[in-house]
A = this chain, B = another copy of it.
Amino acid sequence: MNNLLVAQSGGPTAVINATLAGVIQGVRASNKVDIVYGAKNGIEGVLKDNLIKLDDFVKDIVALDTLTYTPSSALGTCRYKLKDWREDEEPYRRISEAFYKYEISYFIYIGGNDSMDTVNKLSDYCKNKHHHFNIIGAPKTIDNDLNLTDHSPGFGSAAKYIATTMAELESDTSSYDMPAVTIVEIMGRDAGWLTASSALARINGGAGPDLIYLCEKEFDYAGFLCNVREKLEQKPNVLIAVSEGIKDGKGNYVSDQLSSGAIDNFGHKYIAGAARTLEQLVRRKIGCKVRSVELNLMQRASAHIASETDVTEALLLGQKALSCALNGETGRMSAIKRLSNHPYRIEFISVPVEEVANKEKKVPPSWISADGHDVTKDMIDYLRPLIQGETKIQYENGIPRQMKLF
């Protein structure tokens, strides 16, 4: 038997199941795999012997289509991190035993930085122990911080959600004729790609956000207040996008400024985000109406506004990962290389996973505008193709159809 195991790991995205669907589709076209297994909750499912035969669940093209457009990880996810096998060989032994038991030749792990660390360590172990499994990663992360790939599946859909939502919020907030500040917090602890995509709200000439602060740039409170006051002199409604991970000159998270001081009436520390902290600051220092909005889990879960470009690429990256595995590669990740912006052209490649694991791709300083509170044309040219196209998501009774595998 020549079986394949696939699993998902890390934070959900709108298109991680499209990559899973791509693997299944590829298997059916290849005729080189006998059984496709899915592990529940990533590598934890392998350790706990919690596997299902995916063919039982994804029987026809309709089911595959529903899976493609279902957000989050249909197989479940985990945040399990393997120690180096030289320190603790036990989990590695159990994983390879499971592979032998289920006659797994190919293992595809769909995930982000941490998941690629698992792919790296596991393939390194197998090489050393002469286990001939082909272990391949397929990228996913809304944060777009994966190394060696032009961009990551999940990012384009989150960017489309953010661009659309910022345009809608701009319409909402600008309908009032009194001074007000709205601060929108966008995911990204260390990389500002998602926050940058808020600028796409202006793509059709709309006003979009007035100020954009990425976490790559040192955040200056006084400068921020100055920028806000300046904008308020020009127009009544100021819309601001900030990364959750903005930090001051000393490297302290802005979000910690409020949290460290705020104590609720239970006597407990209050956990607040960057936007909440800035909301309080604007209320105290400027005194106008101010509101903070967190795009929260919606920015990674909103499959109903997924980018068709993103869905298609996610699917093809699953197929590419499969073809790498079938070609005998191991310890590699399927990835995207951009050939041109206009027209948008890419090719699918594979890259060594050890150069992806535990690294972060940040926004280049030259793509942040000189004044520090916007992005440049290069950034827009990079982002624009990734949000193009609307999906043919199926609705049933007024809401999108979804699929559960466990």
Residues of A within 8 A of B (CB): 8, 12, 40-41, 44, 70-73, 76-78, 160, 163-165, 167-169, 171-177, 182, 200-201, 203-204, 206, 257-258, 260-266, 268, 270, 272, 280-281, 283-284, 291, 293-298, 300-305, 307, 384, 387-390, 395-402, 404
Contacts and interface: CB of A to CB of B under 8 A. Distances in A.
A270 B270 contact: yes
Contacts of A206: 402, 404
A78 to B, nearest CB: 7
Given A265-B257, A304-B164, A172 B399 contact: no
Contacts of A78: 176-177
Given A71-B172, A297-B293, A398 B163 contact: yes
Contact of A203 (B263, B305, B399): B399
B399 A389 contact: no
6 contacts: A72-B175, A76-B177, A168-B400, A204-B399, A262-B270, A264-B280
A303 B175 contact: no
A268 B284 contact: yes
Nearest to A208: B399
B204 A396 contact: yes
Contacts of A266: 261, 280-281, 284
Given A257-B265, A398-B384, A402-B167, A72 B390 contact: no
Contacts of A397: 203-204, 384, 388
A160 B294 contact: no
A194 to B, nearest CB: 15
Given A171-B12, A280-B266, A160 B399 contact: yes
